[in-house]
C-alpha cells in the first residue's frame, strides 16, 4: 500500500486552510495547483497543520503514480497555490 505524502509547507496565506501551514486533512492537486485552496474571511481545518496529498491529478508529474503522489513531501506556494514540488516526467 502506498504511503501518503505530507504537505511540508504552504505559503498561500490567502487560503482559509492556512494557519501557520495547511490545516486541511487532505488536499487535491490538479493541473492548476491545489484544488483545496479557498479564499474566505473565515479560517477552517484542523487545529494544527498536518495535511496530506489525498489525490494528484497532474498526470505529467514524475511523482504521480495511480493518481497518488509518491514524493516524500510537497511544498505549495505562490499566489495561485501551485505545487512547487512538481517535476515533469
Cell of 30: 490538479
Radius of gyration of the chain (CA): 12
Residue 1 clears pLDDT 60, i.e. is over it: no
pLDDT-derived band at 2, boundaries 50, 70, 90: low
pLDDT confidence band for 80 (50 / 70 / 90): confident
C-alpha distances (whole Å) from 42 to each of 45, 48, 58, 64 are 10, 16, 29, 32
Q: Which residues share a beta bridge with 83?
A: 76
20-48: pLDDT as tens digits: 999 999 999 999 899 999 999 999 999 99
Say what the pTM is.
Answer: 0.91
First to last CA, the chain: 23
Amino acid at each position: 500500500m502506498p504511503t501518503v505524502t505530507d504537505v511540508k509547507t504552504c505559503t498561500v496565506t490567502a487560503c482559509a486552510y492556512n494557519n501557520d501551514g495547511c490545516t486541511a486533512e487532505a488536499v487535491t492537486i490538479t493541473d492548476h495547483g491545489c484544488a483545496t485552496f479557498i479564499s474566505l474571511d473565515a479560517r477552517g481545518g484542523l487545529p494544527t497543520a498536518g495535511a496530506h496529498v489525498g489525490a494528484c491529478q497532474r498526470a505529467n508529474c514524475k511523482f504521480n503514480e495511480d493518481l497518488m503522489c509518491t514524493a516524500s513531501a510537497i511544498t505549495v506556494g505562490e499566489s495561485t497555490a501551485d505545487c512547487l514540488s512538481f517535476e515533469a516526467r
